[in-house]
Structure 1
């Protein structure tokens, strides 16, 4: 496969090689493809989690177990803080 990179991407690859972390352009591109695969795996996993959470919410709504909007948002924020304690609001 032949790949032609835009000049800015070629410069990025060259900088990575110059840093000493990679020895060739193929190593840089391989690392990038692996990161893309990891990103896609994380996305698919999170999407499945969200779909499951939506289903749980839908089921609760069907049972009449609804929560007032402000209360729900407070609960969501509290859960986010538990999951990501280092991030700011």
Structure 2
């Protein structure tokens, strides 16, 4: 069994959830919290993988000479910025 220490705000939050009738007991609250944490972790891992894949594609393109001059990119970004703030 795992013992945890909660901050007063966390205890109050849990008690409010129980009082609202949304949950029948603390086990339901902890189960939902852990499911949400698991979803968050999976989402983050997927984002990391997608970002790594995009970086690898970009590196391959740069190595193949398909890059864009940094001055061109900066000027495009500046133009977009100025268009947005108008």
* TM-score, normalised by the number of residues in structure 1: 0.74
The structure 1 segments of at least 4 consecutive aligned residues displaced by more than 2 Å after TM superposition are 70-73
Unaligned runs of 5+ in 2: 81-86
* TM-score, normalised by the number of residues in structure 2: 0.76
Q: Deviations over 1:3-54 (max 9, x none)?
A: 2211110011111112211011121111111100000000001100000000
Unaligned runs of 5+ in 1: 78-89
Q: Which residue of 1 is the match for residue 45 of structure 2?
A: 44
Residue 73 (structure 2) pairs with residue 69 (structure 1): yes
Greater helix proportion = 2
Size of the aligned set, in residue pairs, is 75
Q: Distance in 2 between matches of 1:53 and 1:71?
A: 23
Larger Rg: 2
* CA RMSD, 1 decimal: 2.1
